[in-house]
Amino acid sequence: MTGTPDAFAGNLDYWEKAAAIHGTTDTDLHYHVDVVVDGGSLMTGLEERAIALATGADLDDPLSGVRDLDVLYLQSHLGADGVVMARAGARVTCADFSATALRRVRELAERVGVPVETVETDARALPESLHGRFDIVYVTVGAICWIDDLDLWMRQVALALRPGGHLVMAELHPLYQMVESRAPELVVDFPYGGGAGLTFTGTGTYADPGAELESTTTSYAHSVADIVNGAVRAGMRIDLLDEHTAIEINPRGDDVLQRGEDGLYRLLLGRGTKAGDDPQPLPVFLTLITTKA
Percent of the chain having pLDDT more than 90?
91
Q: For residue range 115-168, list pLDDT tens digits in order.
A: 999 999 999 999 999 999 999 999 999 999 999 999 999 999 999 999 999 999
**Predicted pLDDT at 251:** 95
The pLDDT of residue 100: 98
CATH architecture designation of domain 5-245+286-292: 3-Layer(aba) Sandwich (3.40)
Residue 273 has what pLDDT? 65
The pLDDT of residue 2 is 52
**pLDDT value of residue 274:** 67
pLDDT at 199 over 70: yes
pLDDT digits (tens, 9 = 90+) for 66-125: 999 999 999 999 999 999 999 999 999 999 999 999 999 999 999 999 999 999 999 999
The C-alpha angle 200, 42, 176, rounded to 5 degrees, equals: 40
Q: Which tens digits make up the pLDDT trace of 164-181?
A: 999 999 999 999 999 999
Q: What is the mean pLDDT of the chain?
A: 95
Tell me what pLDDT residue 277 has: 74
N-to-C CA span, the chain: 26
Question: Comparing 23-27, 77-81, 220-224, 236-240, which segment has the lowest mean pLDDT?
Answer: 23-27
pTM: 0.96
Q: How far is CA 141 from CA 43, 68, 138, 214, 277, in A?
A: 10, 25, 11, 22, 30
Average the pLDDT over 246-273 and give the result: 91
Q: Is the pLDDT of residue 202 over 70?
A: yes
Distance CA 16, CA 98 (A): 6
> What whole-number percentage of the chain has pLDDT above 70?
97
For range 230-252, the mean pLDDT = 97
b/e burial code for range 258-277 (CB count within 10 A of at least 16 → b)? beeeeebbbbbeeeeeeeee
Single-letter residue type at 98: S
Closest of 176, 175, 221 to residue 198, by C-alpha: 221
Reported confidence tier of residue 3, pLDDT bands at 50, 70, 90: low
Q: Which three-class secondary structure state does DSSP give residue 214?
A: strand
Amino acid at position 258, single letter: Q
pLDDT category, 276, cuts 50, 70, 90? low
pLDDT value at residue 184:
85
Whole-number pLDDT of residue 279: 87
Taking the C-alpha atoms of residue 276 and residue 271, their distance in angstroms, rounded to an integer, is 8
Please tell me what DSSP assigns to residue 247.
B
Q: 247 or 275, which is more confident?
A: 247
pLDDT of residue 271: 73
